[in-house]
Amino acid sequence: MRTLFIPKFPLNSLFLFSNSPFPFPIAAFRSLSFHSFHRSPSSAASSSSPTMPPRLAMISHVDSGGPLARRLWNKCRRESILSMYTPFCVCLACGTLNIDTFRHYIGQDVHFLKAFARAYELAAECADDDDAKHSINELRKAVSEELKMHASFVKEWTAADGKESPVNPATVKYTDFLLATASGKIEGAEGLANLATPFERTKLAAYALGAMTPCMRLYAYLAKEFKGVLGALHGDHPYKTWIENYASKGFEEAAERTEDVLEKLAATLTGEELDTIEKLYHQAMKLEQEFFCSQPVSQKTVLPLIKDHNPAEDRLVLFSDFDLTCTVVDSSAILAEIAIVRAPKPEQIQPEDQPITRMSSADLRNTWGVISRQYTEEYEECIDKVLPPKTEEFKFEDLCTALELLSDFEKRANNRVIESGVLKGLNFEDIRRAGEHLIIQDGCFNFFGTACKSENLNVGVHILSYCWCADLIRSSFNSGGLLTQVTIHANEFAFEEAVSTGDLVRRVESPLDKVHAFRKVLENYGNDRNNLTVYIGDSIGDLLCLLEADIGIVIGSSASLRRLATRFGVSFVPLYPSVVRKQKDLTKDSRRSWRGLSGILYTVNSWAEIHAFVLGC
């Protein structure tokens, strides 16, 4: 859905595009959106993670203020999510983790904690501030207590032969990194050869805490997530003590103390030195992720989704919406602003040889405003008309009937846009450059790129979008190096001499059009392989596809989507607790447990969750 309000742009607004020839402020684009009236503000700003080519302006959604440790943690949310979705952590959370696997993990963690205690000791020796030194020593004592707890675990879960597990490479890599950092052996860090001055020693202590803080925060985070799903699981949980220890108030306080000490030690550091801490923090998070990934899980698991994928027999088909699912801003807002910025001023005389006559920028802005207000008012009326009394029973056919009315409305709205002439005169080159610099949700292109480049996957990727101009989408995916791997299903501008005529080649205008395109794709693939379908979307326009896919994933938070869908018996459940439940119920004879038309949609906050769930770490 779209809504369009035409704002007056503040001169100091943040620009939407990097290195863009257009002065397009991002605040303005949120207002200009013709599609996105129904979405809550959080739907366009709820993800975090991977890096992309520098030419793409990615949005980070990281707090620019607040304590240092919080900012660093937010920047590393991808690693925390990938850790949480490892088979080891999922099996631990649901309580079905093989005892031998847990024994092995405890043995690895003991080696790690010994290195952790030694790193604290080295950091305390370097801390010049008495309070900081005392705090670090207290933290080291807490690690000693943790080792005692692990000793009880080791005693309780000792292998039958009494042998210790050998230290695996991931553990060695992590402990070597910690001890090297605490000893001052830090790549790229200057001034650590001579630790004669208090400042140099304090700086080294800060670096050591920067490498240690993420471990504390990650364990507290994972344990709280595990404890959050325990209530939904029945029976005695064999690893409840472990979970409650790391989810306890005491451990949370220890994590906060570590972060407070880091804040104090880093208070006098330069920007370059703070960058070093950030690199160490991120490296530690990656090593934590590798540590959890490396735990040998021999039992059958539900994750990652592609674990049993055989390219000769299976096909993974990924579908996604584009506007506010892949992007931060709705495409109609971008097209509107290109039209307004490039339109002639009222006083300008248009050349007689210009192929298409355009309205002035002032008239164009006013027309957009009228169309937007009409759309918003009629959309609300349409939704109110199709809402039935709430039911607990999933009624897919009734939902399809209701969305037929919405589909008719969307097509009438597009008719008004075409007849108004507001899409006339857009230059193809402007559209192409706008697509190249479009802000993409963190992790989106990384996910599609990883899936497409995997030699062990038979995968198809399809974008289904209401976007008026598929060339904008093509340009965006091309900038991410993905155009040849992705099939785009969207409307097209009609062009004359690379200038839009104002007409549309209509292909996807409504929820029914989207689901027809979805079905057509699967029909074209045929039955030569087992198709597993995943649809990722964020709005009412995606609802039928989300429900027909084997796995429908809702990213962000759309109030109108939930309002409409729940009236027809659709349930929205967080993805991670659902994965944990499926793991608990998994048996050797379990068949594929993800099926379409179940009436259940899975919710996530970021593309990192989708990546972890589908592709793993």
SS3 506: coil
SS3 241: helix
Query: Annotated catalytic residue: which of 215, 326, 382, 545?
Result: 215
133, 138, 178, 213 from 266: Cα distances, Å = 14, 19, 18, 13
Active site residue 293: no
Query: Annotated catalytic residue: which of 79, 225, 288, 509?
Result: 288
Q: Is the peptide bond before 304 cis (omega within 30 degrees of 0)?
A: yes
| Alpha-carbon torsion, ordered 324, 335, 64, 66, to 10 deg | -50
SS3 66: coil
Half-sphere exposure of 373 (CA within 13 A, CB side): 6
- What does the alpha-carbon distance between residue 154 and residue 451 come to, in Å, rounded to a whole number? 39
SS3 280: helix
Largest CA distance in the chain: 92
- What does the alpha-carbon distance between residue 471 and residue 170 come to, in Å, rounded to a whole number? 45
How buried is 276 (Cβ within 10 angstroms: 0-12 exposed, 13-18 middle, 19+ buried)? buried
Beta strand 424-427 with 499-505 is: antiparallel
Active site residue 288: yes
Answer for the pair 213, 139: CB distance below 8 angstroms, yes or no: no
SS3 530: strand
339, 377, 383 from 393: Cα distances, Å = 46, 30, 20
How buried is 278 (Cβ within 10 angstroms: 0-12 exposed, 13-18 middle, 19+ buried)? middle
Sheet of 486-489, strands arranged across: 486-489, 459-464, 314-320, 530-537, 551-555, 600-604, 571-574
Among residues 470, 477, 402, which one has the least CA distance to residue 446? 477
- Determine the residue type at 385: K
- What does the alpha-carbon distance between residue 427 and residue 499 come to, in Å, rounded to a whole number? 5
Answer for the pair 316, 451: CB distance below 8 angstroms, yes or no: yes
Among residues 93, 109, 75, 96, which one has the least CA distance to residue 223? 93
Among residues 149, 151, 159, which one has the least CA distance to residue 99? 159
Place of tokens 């991410």: 480
Among residues 467, 443, 476, which one has the least CA distance to residue 605? 443
Among residues 109, 129, 128, which one has the least CA distance to residue 117? 109
CA 256, 262, 265, 270 dihedral sign is negative
Tokens of 391: 């039911």
Answer for the pair 543, 196: CB distance below 8 angstroms, yes or no: no
Answer for the pair 537, 320: CB distance below 8 angstroms, yes or no: yes
- What does the alpha-carbon distance between residue 301 and residue 289 come to, in Å, rounded to a whole number? 18
| Residues that are catalytic | 215, 288
